[in-house]
Amino acid sequence: MPITVVTVTVCLLFAGCRPSATGTAERARAERHSWESTLGLLEQEAARGAVPAEFARQLRQAAEEERRKAQARREGGSEP
């Protein structure tokens, strides 16, 4: 019983934590940079034939999906 109380309290405390605005912006920037770098590395690897064309297509699609998700998060977060 006491363990349950402590666990729930700890979880509630953290639930009350909101990520800071600057923290979120930094993370979003890091994520954007990460995907830009990924696509850069993809072009490099594709140019030397290290990855098949089909896989390159999948990775580009994944990058696009993540970009759309990040945008939706940004728009969702900017609403008061």
Counting contacts by CB under 8 A, is residue 25 touching another protein?
A: no
Per-residue string for binding with another protein, 32-51, x by CB under 8 A? -xx--xx-xx---x--xxxx
**SS3 label, residue 80:** coil
- From CA 54, how far away is CA 63, in angstroms rounded? 14
3-state secondary structure of 72: helix
* Shortest Cβ 61–another protein spacing (Å): 9
- Closest to another protein by CB, 48 vs 80, is 48
Is 28 a residue that touches another protein (CB under 8 A)?
no
Helix (H, G, I), strand (E, B) or coil at 79: coil
